[in-house]
Structure 1
Amino acid sequence: MKISLQTRVAQDYLSVLDQFNLDLFTALAPAFPKMKVLRFDGSFPGDRVEIELQVGPVKRRWTSLITERHITDQEAWFVDEGQELPAPLTYWRHQHLITHHGTYSIIHDLIEFRTKNRVLDYLVYPVLYAQFALRGPVYQRLFGKA
């Protein structure tokens, strides 16, 4: 399944890209489930991000590897791909794309995920969509509304 979200912000796309760091990562964390950062290398190919998600007494690990990073004169992006995923996820690819639009930029969260079956994909979709939609106001608070 695919999720595509866009947030318009007031800063230049390269400035936004430069701020994809641990502080932003933790600011973007949803209130639920509880998240603990175990490792955050950055957003360059070969970097790893490891978190622990906790729901009550149950803890699950999520590890992603940064596999791509590109910068052009109109856009910049990096991709994280799931290596160790919490159930029910079996596949994860998240492209963080920032596009240049003159006086503002648009942050695109382009997510592709899978679970063990299509029915479960449809059940997980609204939960993931809601969690990532909550990033928009955080982006606008940190980078300004455009």
Structure 2
Amino acid sequence: MRLKINTRINAPLELVQEHFAQDLFEQLNPPFPKAAVLVYEGNYPGARVELEIDFLLFKQKWISEITTVQKEPDNYSFIDEGRQLPFFLKNWHHHHLLLKKGVQTEIVDDIQFSSGNSLLDLLLYPGLLIQFLYRKPIYKSYFNSLSKSLR
């Protein structure tokens, strides 16, 4: 199943790319389920991000690996793929794309996931959609404050 969210940011591509790192990632953490960052190696091929996700009654480990990075004058992207996922997910492919839009940047979260069961995928979709819609105002606030502090 595919989930795609676009967010326009009032910050230049170079700034967004430079600060698309652990500090931002931790701020994107939704209220539920909480995720503790155990390892964050960066956004380069082979880098790992390891999380412990707290579902209140149980915790699950999530490990993703950055498999691809692409940098061009008008865009920057990287892909993280799930290597160890919570029991209800079998596949995770998250394409992070930053697109230069004049003096702004568009952040695209393009996610393909599968539980291995089409019905469960449909049930997971609304929760994942909410998780990624939650990021939109955080992206805007985070990069707006960064842009102001650099002026």
Using the size of structure 2 for normalisation, the TM-score is: 0.93
Instruction: State how far apart, in whole Å, the 1-side matches of 2:101 and 2:38 are.
Output: 35
Aligned residue in 1 for 2:37: 37
Instruction: State how far apart, in whole Å, the 2-side matches of 1:144 and 1:36 are.
Output: 25
Aligned residue in 2 for 1:114: 114
CA-CA distance at 1:55 after TM superposition: 1.4
Instruction: State how far apart, in whole Å, the 2-side matches of 1:52 and 1:111 are.
Output: 20
Higher strand share: 1
Instruction: State how far apart, in whole Å, the 2-side matches of 1:95 and 1:13 are.
Output: 17
Asked if 1:68 corresponds to 2:74, the answer is no
1:103-142 per-residue CA deviation (whole Å, 9 max, x = no partner) reads 2110000000000200000000000010011100000001
1:73-130 per-residue CA deviation (whole Å, 9 max, x = no partner) reads 1111111000000021100010110001112110000000000200000000000010
Unaligned runs of 5+ in 2: 146-151
SS in 2 for 1:57: coil
1:72-83 aligned at under 5 Å gives the runs: 72-83=72-83
Give the AA of the match of 1:143.
F
Instruction: State how far apart, in whole Å, the 2-side matches of 1:23 and 1:109 are.
Output: 18
After superposition, the CA RMSD in angstroms is 1.1
Aligned residue in 1 for 2:9: 9
Percent sequence identity over aligned pairs: 39
Unaligned runs of 5+ in 1: none
Instruction: State how far apart, in whole Å, the 2-side matches of 1:130 and 1:116 are.
Output: 21
Using the size of structure 1 for normalisation, the TM-score is: 0.96
Answer whether contact 1:14 1:76 (CA < 8 A) is retained: no
Moved over 2 A (4+): none
Instruction: State how far apart, in whole Å, the 1-side matches of 2:34 and 2:111 are.
Output: 21
CA-CA distance at 1:144 after TM superposition: 2.3
